[in-house]
Amino acid sequence: MISASSVVYSVRKKMVVAIFDVYCIKFPETCSASSSFSHIICSSNILACISRTKFSQVILVVAMAKPDYQSKSLPLWDFTTTLASHEVEFLLSGEEKVPLASFGEEKTIICLFFSANWCRPCQSFTPKLVHLYNRLRTIGKELEIVFVSLDHDYDGFNANLKSMPWIAVPFNVNLHKKLCERFRVVRIPSLVPLNLDGQSVEEDIIGLIEDYGEDAFPFTRKRREELKALDDSKRQGGKIDQLLARPGRDYVVASNGGKILVSELVGKTVGLYFGAHWCPPCRAFTAQLVEAYKQLRSSRGGCFEVVLVSSDRDQKEFDVNVGGMPWLAVPFEDQTRQDLCRIFNIKAIPALVLIGPDGKPISTNGRNIITLYGAKAFPFTQSSIEEIEASLKKEGDLLPRQIQDIKHEHVLKLDMAKAYVCDYCERQGKFWVFSCDACDYDLHPTCVEEAC
């Protein structure tokens, strides 16, 4: 058997620490069967794969190790009897003690929150959970959270507790181990809801909260399905205001800080531009989009609008980003930015989702369309793209397959290029080009002077 620390080491050598950041699996000091994940790794041949393998196989290991969550919510007494069996008589609420006997009498949904302050995903998730907890309680939802610490020591537990407004199980390593086993917690952070009358519970509550924030409550599978259906109807429903506005905000912002009503976008072709100031490919794409935008604004008036859905890291960066763009933006402090990324499944930026005048999506690959065809592709429908492609083909059919130009010693062949610079006029070119196979020489078809 190989110790867990050597597993971590061999994994680190392969630079796949990121996977462990995502899942943050807790390895015990020495390998034992106490965590099913470390057990899988240490007791099987997979370790051999890890030490000499590729990234994909390691992902496979982690995927295999995905914990088998209970599918049904457990009753509160499952928790309280485990505590009682360890002679715990009270829970901690700040400086106060909450007697176990009276805990959970009111019909509240109680979530056990397994977390540790040494765990980076916990560190980033806890503030989101605090926000959700405070919000839900403000709007009268009955939720209580109980912190079960997997901290290494009492100081760690205390430091962690200071950042949490909810109740905690007193620090007791053995009891926490027991609770992890009882509630089948094999990774942290983890939330386990109790008191849901045996309803099916969403498998990945942390992911659900990351995606939907407070809307995720009460974390059941039914709720996940409702939210997914809501996303689908927003995406396909043909209502731009449902996509861009939300209760209490019916506007988007302009680069000068002004507010533009979302209702003014109804009936227009709208590009939702997912980008960020810190992202160099976004800056390159922004320049192309600005060009197409300006052309369309002058040729088609207000038929086309772009709304930035920023992935900037803070308000300051967002302000700089928006200030340099001629179009509109979803306000930075707004959940809608996250909602739109989820609804359109945006995994990388820059991305451009094109919405038609009927409010329904035309293409999620607007970036490619703009990069290739620019403003010419308007209104970006399948038929307009096909038209462009047909006319390009026609153009090519009229050109000779190869030429001999007086400016160049070799034969130049007709080719198609996304972008090039003409070696004669030094201007940019797109699509048809006469190129030399022998040297890197390109010529616009219009710059050709055929040798006699």
- Binding residues for Zn ion (CB under 5 A): 410, 422, 424-425, 436, 438-439, 441, 444, 447
**Would you say 59 or 438 has its CB closer to Zn ion?**
438
**To the nearest whole angstrom, how small is the minimum distance from the Cβ of residue 440 to Zn ion?**
8
Host H or E run for residue 124:
helix 120-138
CB nearer to Zn ion: pick between 40 and 447: 447
Smallest distance from the beta carbon of 327 to Zn ion, in angstroms? Answer: 32
DSSP conformational letter for 327:
S
Amino acid present at 171: F
Min CB(223)–Zn ion separation in Å: 60
Q: What does the block give as tokens for 283?
A: 């800056």
- Strands 190-194 vs 251-254: parallel, antiparallel or unpaired: unpaired
Give the helix ranges, DSSP H, for 183-279. Answer: 205-212, 221-236, 240-244
Choice between 153 and 449, CB closer to Zn ion = 449
Q: How far is the CB of 213 from Zn ion (least distance, A)?
A: 53
Between 218 and 429, CB nearer to Zn ion: 429
Per DSSP, the three-state class of 143 is strand
CA distances (Å), origin 348, targets 341, 352, 373: 10, 11, 21
Nearer to Zn ion, 360 or 410 (CB): 410
Nearer Cβ to Zn ion, position 223 or 444?
444
Q: Please report the sign of the dihedral spanned by the C-alpha atoms of residue 214, residue 166, residue 161, residue 202.
A: negative
Closest approach, Cβ 13 to Zn ion, in A, equals 48
The end-to-end CA distance of the chain, in Å, is 81
Q: How far is the CB of 17 from Zn ion (least distance, A)?
A: 49
Kindly compute the dihedral angle of the four CA atoms of residues 400, 404, 405, 407, in this order, to the nearest 10 degrees: 150
DSSP for residue 188: S
User: Taking the complex as a whole, how short is the minimal distance between the CB of residue 417 and Zn ion, in angstroms?
Assistant: 13
Nearer Cβ to Zn ion, position 187 or 444? 444
CA-CA distance, 442 to 433, in Å (whole number)? Answer: 7
